[in-house]
Structure 1
Amino acid sequence: MSAPGTGASAASPSHVSVIDGVLRIAVATAENGTSLSPAGVDQGTAALRAAGPEIRAVLLVGEGSNFCAGGNVRGFAGADDRRAHVGDIARRFHEFVLALDAVGVPIVAAVHGWAAGAGMSIVLHADIALGGPSTKLRPAYPSIGYTPDGGMSWTLPRVVGIARAREMILTDTVLGADEAVRLGVLSRLVADDEIESEAVRIARTLANGPTAAYAGIRRLVGDSQHRTLAEQLDAELESISSAAVSPTGIEGANAFVEKRRPDFTSLERD
């Protein structure tokens, strides 16, 4: 079914759907060579901002031969005002990235084929990114004389280190699947024909888990970038103490003692 607030119509088919608590967003389609879909970005942003407790995980996919082959360079080159056109696409893309960052639930990416330019930027915002042996990633921006967008200049240094990030972006390094896993850009690999099905399985599993705890984990990990160890320990102390008396934490601990499976979803949908 379509997620609310996307504004999809017959003229603009829906790039978002919600199934079993998972918000699925298609960031690219076969149209325009699997380049970043402005409609997917806009609809995804609206759906993420409108997400209520029924949304418990996000799944990012590409529909076509690639996850996302980057921006629509033909569209860039054909624009009457390239500055205004590229600036508008980047602004809308950045709204999507900020909505991803703010959503608070786990984000899973099913990365098949190429994730280049904007596609690689999106992968770097996923909590779990699955690829296959044929998956390849590439910054791509220097190849057309552009600089990064979508947060790549912020996320990539935090994943691979600033020196390696500079080298990768400046030399437009193509990352094969094994190297991407070794560097932490991808989480792990599965068979090429199982990438989306495994990503769906993980997203559904997360959607049935302790959403409140997941939100706390994402906050702690994200905020650790600008804290000292002492500050992070204080944040962990406050977070785990609060979790202990939350409905989620009470249910989890009680279920463990009672040797039963915890029921987090009914608690967190109330």
Structure 2
Amino acid sequence: MIRVLYELRGGAAHITLSDPDRGNALDAVVVDELHTAVRRARMDDVGVLVLRGAGHAFCVGGDVRAFHDAEDVDHTVENLAEALHRTISELHRMNAVVVTVVQGTAAGAGVALAAAGDLVLAGASARFTLAYTRLGLSPDGAAAC
């Protein structure tokens, strides 16, 4: 199942986190697909990149269930954070204007992903939360910068 969609319309790339049943949670597969889509947009030399989440949430952050189920939680979280940071860095280096469209929840690393946009369009339903302390974690996704 593809969980990140890429579509080129005119000079704009549209990237959609497309796993609404899971709140567009970030795991290794999603972050890898997101990174691939962002690199594709750079290769397509788009003028605008629009990033959004499908369904009720923009992105609820890291997939806590995947962390729980991992054999080596530290390694899993570290690898995911590194991959997400590379993706966010790629977004910042783009020549395109990056627009993030936030509806519903942007939590944890989802906040950092939303903030990677040059322009953040937040709908009336948008809610931003850095919920790390509720999980006993420290900020990730460049949220502490």
Same fold (TM over 0.5): yes
Match of 2:8 in 1: 18
* Structure 1 counterpart SS, 2:144: helix
Displacement of 1:27 in angstroms is 3.4
Alpha-carbon distance change, 13 to 35 in structure 1, aligned in 2, over 3 angstroms:
closer
Q: Distance in 2 between matches of 1:25 and 1:57?
A: 11
Check conservation: 2:3, 2:17, Cα contact below 8 A. no
* Structure 2 counterpart SS, 1:26: strand
Check conservation: 2:4, 2:15, Cα contact below 8 A. no
Task: Note if 1:98 corresponds to 2:62.
Answer: no
Q: Distance in 1 between matches of 2:132 and 2:23?
A: 17
Displacement of 1:37 in angstroms is 5.3
Task: Note if 1:66 corresponds to 2:66.
Answer: no
Displacement of 1:127 in angstroms is 0.9
Letter in 1 for 2:50: L
Alpha-carbon distance change, 128 to 52 in structure 1, aligned in 2, over 3 angstroms:
same
Which has the larger share of helix? 1
Which has the larger share of strand? 2
Q: Distance in 1 between matches of 2:59 and 2:84?
A: 13
* Structure 1 counterpart SS, 2:100: strand
Match of 1:41 in 2: 31
Match of 1:127 among 105, 111, 118: 118
Letter in 2 for 1:29: D
Q: Distance in 1 between matches of 2:110 and 2:101?
A: 11
What stretches of structure 1 of length at least 5 have no aligned partner?
Answer: 1-10, 155-270
Match of 2:17 in 1: 27
Using CA pairs below 8 Å that are at least 6 residues apart, which structure has the higher relative contact order? Answer: 2
**Alpha-carbon deviations, 1:141-194, whole Å to 9, x = none?**
11111111111111xxxxxxxxxxxxxxxxxxxxxxxxxxxxxxxxxxxxxxxx
* Structure 1 counterpart SS, 2:32: helix
| TM-score normalized with structure 2 length | 0.88
Alpha-carbon distance change, 37 to 63 in structure 1, aligned in 2, over 3 angstroms:
farther
Q: Distance in 1 between matches of 2:56 and 2:18?
A: 10
Displacement of 1:53 in angstroms is 5.5
Check conservation: 1:12, 1:39, Cα contact below 8 A. no
What stretches of structure 2 of length at least 5 have no aligned partner?
Answer: none
Match of 1:88 among 65, 68, 79: 79
Number of residue pairs the alignment of both structures matches: 144
| TM-score normalized with structure 1 length | 0.49
Rg: which structure is higher? 1
Percent identical pairs in the alignment equals: 29
**Alpha-carbon deviations, 1:24-59, whole Å to 9, x = none?**
222352142331254443233223334236411111
Task: Note if 1:109 corresponds to 2:100.
Answer: yes
* Structure 2 counterpart SS, 1:46: helix
Alpha-carbon distance change, 57 to 40 in structure 1, aligned in 2, over 3 angstroms:
farther
Check conservation: 2:108, 2:132, Cα contact below 8 A. yes
Displacement of 1:18 in angstroms is 1.3
Alpha-carbon distance change, 58 to 83 in structure 1, aligned in 2, over 3 angstroms:
same
Q: Distance in 2 between matches of 1:119 and 1:48?
A: 16
Match of 1:8 in 2: none
* Structure 1 counterpart SS, 2:117: coil
